[in-house]
Amino acid sequence: MTELLYHTDSYLREFAATVTAADGETHAVVLDRTAFYPGGGGQPCDEGTLMVGGVVYPVSKVQKAGPDILHFIDGEILPAVGAQASGTLNWERRYQLMRTHTAMHILCGVVFLDYGAQVTGGNMDPLVGRMDFEFESMRQELVHEIEERINAEIMQQREVRVRILPRDEAFRIPDLIRTKINLLPEGIMEVRTVEIVGLDLQADGGTHVANTTEVGHLRVVDYKSKGKINKRIYMEVSDR
């Protein structure tokens, strides 16, 4: 089982680990611990490098496989099982994704609290994202109103807190699941929650900034109807 360092420290850029498995067919290695986020919940996986025995291996893809995290690496020869490794994230990409993910939670919190709309889907890349909500109608005036509200929330300097709770305790929190479909499998006994204090609290496995001011500025760049009660909002994150 890979220890998920990013669950408790999103700002960890470098880490030491041991290679616990290597697959020549997929050209992937498993580590006993990792700061690489494997992707999920609309957030793409991290990229970076692994150094093993003085050899630097680019990490082009990271993926969850049961209790393990697969690190797909470039290079002709795989590291040996038991070898000591040093991992380094592509920090610029990771931090942009952290800002974007927190921005999407701010958007989700504003839309849920002000309009009672649940999320039906979402996706992101560094500094851009889109979210689908249960809105029967969407108009330009409403979009401008939402944009003003989310930027006002950013400037409130709200702390972002991460906790890992027993499943039973987590599910006693009202409105913990903001998506239309509960994506948490029954077998998960602990639930990681991300709280934007005073605005939003959700079950979430991704990486986030520590304060809303780190997000920067949010701009709603487009919106579309994706069905009778499904409206999509596109946004961009930039420096303030």
Q: What is the pLDDT of residue 179?
A: 57
Walk along the chain (240 residues) in steps of 10 and give the mean pLDDT of each run.
96 98 94 97 96 95 96 91 98 98 96 90 96 90 95 97 88 67 63 93 94 97 90 94
Q: Contact at 8 Å (CB) between 218 and 106?
A: yes
**β-bridge mates for residue 23, sequence order:** 28
Under 8 Å between Cβ of 158 and 217:
no
**Superfamily holding 94-238:** Threonyl-trna Synthetase; Chain A, domain 2 (3.30.980.10)
- Cα separation, 210 vs 99, in Å, equals 9
Kindly list the distances between the CA atom of residue 184 and the CA atoms of 117, 159, 163, 178, in Å, as whole numbers in the listed order: 20, 25, 16, 12
Q: What is the pLDDT of residue 178?
A: 54
Distance CA 5, CA 37 (A): 9
Are residues 204 and 163 in contact, defined by beta-carbon separation less than 8 angstroms? no
pLDDT at 180: 47
Instruction: Beginning with the edge strand found earlier in the chain, give each strand of the sheet holding 200-203 in spatial order.
Output: 160-166, 190-196, 200-203
Domain boundaries, the chain: 3-89, 94-238
CA nearest neighbour of 131 among 29, 3, 13, 233:
233
| Residue carrying structure tokens 């974007």 | 100
What is residue 175's predicted lDDT score, i.e. its pLDDT? 67
pLDDT score at 227: 82
CA–CA gap between residue 99 and residue 237 (Å, rounded):
8
What is the model's pTM?
0.92
By C-alpha distance, which of 99, 45, 46, 134 is closest to 236? 99
Looking at residue 183, its pLDDT comes to 52
Specify whether the backbone of 216 is left (phi greater than 0), alpha (psi in -120 to 50) or beta: left
Is 2.40.30.130 the CATH number for 3-89? yes
3-state secondary structure of 87: strand
8 Å CB contact between 106 and 220: no
| Helix H or strand E segment including 146 | helix 140-154
First to last CA, the chain: 40
